[in-house]
Amino acid sequence: EAGVAQSPRYKIIEKRQSVAFWCNPISGHATLYWYQQILGQGPKLLIQFQNNGVVDDSQLPKDRFSAERLKGVDSTLKIQPAKLEDSAVYLCASSPPGGGEQFFGPGTRLTVL
Amino acid sequence: AQTVTQSQPEMSVQEAETVTLSCTYDTSESNYYLFWYKQPPSRQMILVIRQEAYKQQNATENRFSVNFQKAAKSFSLKISDSQLGDTAMYFCAFMKRDNAGNMLTFGGGTRLMVKP
């Protein structure tokens, strides 16, 4: 069974530029999560999707971050414009119907200069 | 809202010895899961062990076991016969349990170094 796929693995941008991350969850997993992990900290949820609907985006900085999961499968997370403090690892995770364990992708390390 | 606290930023252990990582949490929920995740330098978050709050028996997975004290809201991880490959960041995490998927609330992590 293929795991959660993410791309790119690394991205370096200048502040005020835009960036997008892609995630493809495990087949059949209805719930998809995006977490932000700042260096030296635990991951923090940005947004949770159930199929193509948003369940929780209370911690998403909506003035600069957006996310979509149009067909209820893969998802993109966008930052526009990026700030220095957005430097972090962005982790995508998915879980099967009924909840329980979350399976994580390898993450995208973003560096904003 | 839930909070998870890991009070040990760094720990080290000699290969083949036993180490215990601490975690405390705060919640008003009665039905939940607790997890320990391992994050090696590759950044892949890997599930180590899971505990369901309604189960009194402590979970075990090979060399990994937990001490779950529900009343004290404590959830420690014991690693026996430590191996060099156990070197990683370890995160304790909380998830409310219902029929839908729920977010994980993570602690700040403990960096474990296994020395040869």
pLDDT in tens, A25-64: 999 998 999 999 999 999 999 999 998 899 999 999 999 9
With the C-alpha atoms ordered B44, B45, B46, B48, is the resulting torsion angle positive or negative?
A: positive
Map tokens 């690693």 to a residue.
Answer: B79
Give chain B positions within 8 Å (CB) of A43: 45, 91, 104, 106
Chain A: give the shortest CA distance to residue B96, in Å.
9
Indicate yes or no: CB of A99 within 8 angstroms of CB of B101.
yes
Indicate yes or no: CB of B109 within 8 angstroms of CB of A41.
yes
- The pLDDT of B74-94, averaged and rounded, is 97
Stated as kind and residue range, the H or E segment containing B79 is strand B74-79
Map tokens 């209820």 to a residue.
Answer: A72
Residue A96 has pLDDT above 90, yes or no: no
Query: Tokens standing for A108?
Result: 């995208």
CA distance B38 to B49: 10
Contact B48, B36 (CB under 8 A): yes
Residue B101 has pLDDT above 80, yes or no: no
Residue B29's nearest CA partner among B97, B111, B110, B114 is B97
The percentage of chain A sitting over the pLDDT mark of 90, rounded to a whole number, equals: 81
Q: Confidence band (pLDDT; 50, 70, 90) for B41?
A: confident
Helices then strands, each counted (H, E), chain A: 0, 11
Chain B residue at shortest CA distance from A93: B45
CA distance B87 to B25: 24
Residue A99 has pLDDT above 90, yes or no: no
> B106: left (phi > 0), else alpha (psi -120 to 50), else beta?
beta
DSSP bridge pairs for A21:
A77
Alpha-carbon distances of B61 from B31, B47, B64, B65, B77, rounded to whole Å:
22, 11, 5, 6, 11
Chain B: give the shortest CA distance to residue A62, in Å.
19
Indicate yes or no: CB of A43 within 8 angstroms of CB of B50.
no
- Residue to test with chain B: of A7, A26, A37, A110, most B Cβ within 10 A: A37
